[in-house]
Structure 1
Amino acid sequence: MCLLELKNINKYYKISGSNKFHAIKDVNVSFNKGELVSIIGESGSGKSTLMNLIGGLDSNYSGELLVNGKDIGKLRKKELDKYRKSTVGFVFQSFNLISHLSILDNVTIAMTLSNVKKKARIKRAKEILSELGLENQINKKPSQLSGGQKQRVAIARALINNPEIIIADEPTGSLDSKTTMQVLEILRNIAEKGKLVIMVTHSEKVASCSSRVVKIADGKIISDDEIFKFENTYELENASSNQKRFKFFGIRGKNLGIISAVKLSLKNMKEKLTRNIFLSIGGSIGIMSVILMLSLGNGVKTYFNKTMNNYVNPLVIEANMPSDEDDETINLDVTTIQKPELNKQKSFEDADIQKLSQIENVSKIEKGYTSISIGSNSLNYDGKSSNLMRLSTISSNITESNLQEGSLPKEGEMLINKSVSDKLGGDVVGKKVTLNILLGQKVVKTELTVSGIENAGGDLSSIMKSAFLNYSDLEKIYLDNNSTLKPNVMYLDTTNEKYTPQIKGKVKELGYLGSSQDQMTSMFNEMINIVTYVLSAIAAISLVVSAIMIVVVMYISVVERTKEIGIIKAIGARRKDIRRIFVCEAFLIGVFSGVIGVVASYLIMKGINTMSNKLFNINLVIIRRVYAVFGLCVSIIISMLSGLLPANKAAKLDPVESLRRE
């Protein structure tokens, strides 16, 4: 059986409309192993077209093209890629070496596409390059070699996967006479070892060195002459050893792996290093903006929460009764009009107190009372008076850290805030003052000693005139005036701060409200979150610009590397492999952009926080680890999505047209 057989091959090129050019006309020819065949003809005779058909670069023809009895015209795309990868090897007139890869990488790239391990492919490439006299050139770039050396590199690349057929397109067209003879001798030796070598040429001198000359004109074979036959007595033995070598190097059945694609992409990106650096920096701006906006919101929120929490005891949880709007009525009887009490909170009953005390990890429960009113309660001292907007009982929630001056109140004492102290003249700690409380329609007066001044900080007390006394003292005032004090706020103590969130959750679950401070903190946090997300969304607009920039640059890259893509396809790369290489490049751009963005964000954070600490003693920007991870992931996703269109364009390029591109 012949190694290669062409039966009634016809090839047409569409010119315009329904007009077609008949490039190959009823070609019937066969070739065997151990032949050095020259297909000779003038320009336009169809010899290059025939080479493309045999090499599997063009499958749009009629007839049968049999390799080892199998019609490659019926192969699927994947099978055709595999055929080019393992069965045929190309040697081009213009060498078609990839300029930014070293000689070693140019030779091993076909094995890289087959996912052969690095050690095995380097060993194989060095063996072939050594046989061709290039063992000292492996780390050089193609531009550093002579024409003859470049052609030998091209031959080494064609042989790397140990193919059965070598196709050489004008292999000596760019060489001087001395180098021409050296290259022809190499091709002759390859044929003598049992390979089928087909040279496409228009040179009679080159053809005279062949064992067989096939002449073609106007798409037809006009002569087929055997000049001589190599004395090859080990053809079958070689075929067997070739199969073993295929198996040894793991060529068959494997394709370009992700890791190999990433490594190849890195080498490609080094060629345009400056451009890729600026592209990554451009992409990092959007990532950096989003991270900083999220971190600014986090810093402001952290500062606010910390400020609020500094003035409460973390071991005390406040519980309030929910308001009952249905119970709120307005009495217009003029005989009963009194100064309004603004907080009409329901009181806690014994059943409510029992429920709260049974919450897990609550060690103690304290009764409390808070009254917010306008003009109902007041303090008098030394002829001066101050209205009290808030009258509350003291609890474990107020600690020594809440005091600006003095101490916490004992029995018969009270605590006032700075607003009240200023109104009463300032120097009132340790002095007796008169507390006026409206009970029903009667104003009750009680003398108490001011024990200290409260430092309200971020609490509402900084605005409201407030006074605090012990629950037992307020309860006694009510009893002395035939009234009963019922708690409208409860304080739940716990032994460990870690239980606080769980207890707060249980309080809400039972239908009670948290502290006014918790509610205000929650409201402000929600507002900060909204502003943060809006600012982040505005900053994210730059990500769209980054994506467009990546698409444009990668499209330019596809155009610049069209010939390179054709070379890779000619040596067996699948569409998927080409797509994977470009997507990996986009992935790497995303990684670099994300890393630059994250690092820059941390550096800017340090700069801003240094200034904000000097001015306000706060960290204004706080980057959480999740923001950095989010930024990196977004960068990679956007880059890869942006790279899909250029990658698909590259994958769909026709190898024949690509190889013609200069």
Structure 2
Amino acid sequence: MKLAFKIAVRFLKSTKGQTALIALGIAVGVSVQIFIGSLIQGLQKSLVNKTIGNSSQITISSKSSDKLIDNYDAIVDTIKNSDDRIKNLSIVSDGPALIKNNSKTYSILLRGMNINDSDKIYNIKSSVYEGSIPKNEFEILVGKDLRDELNLNINDKVDVITNSGKLNTLTVTGFYDLKISTINKSWLLTDLSTVKKLFSTGNKITGIEMQVTDVFKADEIASDISAKIDNDMVKVDNWKAQNASLLSGLNGQSVSSYMIQVFVMISVVLGIASVLVVTVVQKSKQIGILKAMGIRDSQSSLIFLFEGFLLGIMGAILGVILGLVLSYIFTKFAVNPDGTPVVELYISYKFIGVSALIALLASTLAALIPARGSSKLNPIEVIRNA
């Protein structure tokens, strides 16, 4: 085996141009795999993050006619003890209301919550660009778009009409921007006690919101929660069931990415195999002499397997470097007007390692065809025809 390795190295050194060309071909294949894979993964994570990253991924709501959840403390305790994959949990109490401003009427949603708990889901505190979060009852945060519509300032009073027809006055303590126009225009954020008093819900809430450590396991976790709660008056929804079109798009992206990577690797394998087959013909005289000197067929086959292995190592290392360079260049040239990348590339060291390993295995396997051809060479005929 040691002799076969040394001969393989000598063969590669004797045709440096050819060796460099094959290694470059493997490198291009690996770099394309890494670049496309990282780009697709980055796009998927960006889409998921923008869609459900700062929102509830599992939501418990009521099936009752009043849409209220009673005895929610017991449900919350059951959830907290049911699955360690649940990382953030918040109780909310929502109620529809109207705001009248001059001749216009705006439909809004009053959202009562524990700001500290909900902040872990919605990043409310960091989204407040002016003023502060409510500290007392009947204080509210107003979204950026609604503020512009109503021309509001800090400490302004807002008259809100609830579904009971009662007029209530709330004080503006700050303004938020959650980067979603529909939310900025419709949500008024306040504490739980304010909403409970405005809508006379007593010690009841309208929902329990959660985020999980693995967003793609949300449906599985939701099913477990539903089974453990065992309450016919509540339902457990998850983001995957509510975003079927998004999941379909993500699956389509993954399939297209895998297909591209497979065909790239097939072309690399065919390229390596064809070049090494030619090498067998080119080196047939040397192989014939080596066989006449006593080298076994298995050792002659190992020579080309080692060549494929060494070419795979060189190509994989160079390919990883090229792939990372391509990814870096992409983030510098494909940018939004504010200078941020159009797509945040996701660099997974595991994915890079797997891509390099696949290239190494592929190049070694590609050498099986020429290795088999070299083992069948008859030294007497080779030398006679040389």
TM bin, normalised by shorter chain, reads: 0.7 to 0.9
Q: How many residues align?
A: 365
C-alpha change, 1:580 and 1:392, in structure 2 (3 Å) is same
Contact 1:356 1:507 in 2 (8 A): no
| DSSP-derived class of the 1:449 partner | strand
| 1:274 has 2:17 as partner | yes
Aligned with 1:473: secondary structure? helix
Equivalent residues of 2:62, 2:206 under 8 A apart = no
- Distance in 2 (CA, whole Å) between partners of 1:529 and 1:279 is 34
Against the structure 1 CA distance between its residues 271 and 364, is the aligned structure 2 distance closer, same or farther, given a 3 Å change threshold?
A: closer
Shift of residue 533 of structure 1?
3.8
How far does the alpha carbon of each residue in 1:225-250 deviate from its partner, in whole angstroms, 9 at most, with x for none? xxxxxxxxxxxxxxxxxxxxxxxxxx
1:489 matched to 2:215: no
- What amino acid sits opposite 2:383 in the alignment? L
> Which of residues 376, 380, 385 is equivalent to 1:656?
380
The aligned residue for residue 429 of structure 1 is 154
How far apart are 1:304 and its partner, in Å?
4.7
Match of 2:259 in 1: 537
- Residue 631 of structure 1: aligned partner: 355
State the match for 2:232 in structure 1: none
Q: Which residue of the partner structure matches residue 112 of structure 2?
A: 393
1:280-291 matched pairs, under 5 angstroms: 280-291=23-34
Which of these residues, 15, 21, 43, is aligned with residue 300 of structure 1? 43
Q: Distance in 2 between matches of 1:455 and 1:566?
A: 77
In structure 2, runs of 5+ residues without a counterpart are 230-234
**Cα 1:277–1:358 shift into 2, 3 Å:** closer
CA distances 1:36-88 after superposition (whole Å, capped 9, x unpaired): xxxxxxxxxxxxxxxxxxxxxxxxxxxxxxxxxxxxxxxxxxxxxxxxxxxxx
3-state SS of 1:467 partner: strand
In structure 2, how many angstroms separate the alpha carbons of the residues matched to 1:514 and 1:266? 63
Q: Secondary structure at the match of 1:617?
A: coil
**In the TM superposition, what is the alpha-carbon distance from 1:627 to its structure 2 partner?**
2.2
Using CA pairs under 8 Å that are at least 6 residues apart, name the structure with larger relative contact order, 1 or 2: 2
When residues 645 and 310 of structure 1 are mapped into structure 2, their CA distance, relative to the original with a 3 A threshold, is: closer
For residue 593 of structure 1, what is the amino acid of its counterpart? G
* CA distance in structure 1 between the partners assigned to 2:62 and 2:385 by the alignment: 80
SS at match of 1:626: helix
Q: How far apart, in 1, do the equivalents of 2:68 and 2:315 lie?
A: 58
Distance of aligned partners of 1:626 and 1:523 in 2 relative to their CA distance in 1, 3 Å threshold: farther
Query: What SS does structure 1 have at the residue aligned with 2:110?
Result: strand
Superposition TM-score, scaled by structure 1 size: 0.49
Cα separation, 1, equivalents of 2:294 and 2:98: 93
Change (3 A) 1:288 1:364: closer
Query: Within 2, Cα distance between the matches of 1:476 and 1:490?
Result: 19
- In the aligned structure 2, how far is the partner of 1:407 from the partner of 1:614? 30
Amino acid at match of 2:24: I
1:408 aligns with 2:133: yes
Whole-Å separation in 2 of the counterparts to 1:638 and 1:307: 37
State the identity %: 18
Deviates more, 1:470-479 or 1:484-493: 484-493
TM-score when normalising by structure 2: 0.80
Shift of residue 506, structure 1, vs aligned partner: 6.6
Structure-2 change in CA distance of 1:561 and 1:392 (3 Å): same
Alignment of 1:157-556 (within 5 A): 257=1, 259-304=2-47, 320-321=59-60, 347-350=69-72, 351-356=74-79, 358=81, 367-371=91-95, 377-388=97-108, 390-395=109-114, 396=116, 397-398=118-119, 399-409=124-134, 410-424=136-150, 426-438=151-163, 442-457=164-179, 461-462=183-184, 465-479=186-200, 484=202, 486-490=204-208, 509-511=224-226, 524=246, 527-528=249-250, 530-556=252-278
Whether the aligned pair in 1 keeps the contact of 2:57 and 2:239 (CA below 8 Å) is no
Separation in structure 2 between the aligned mates of residue 556 and residue 614 of structure 1, nearest angstrom:
49
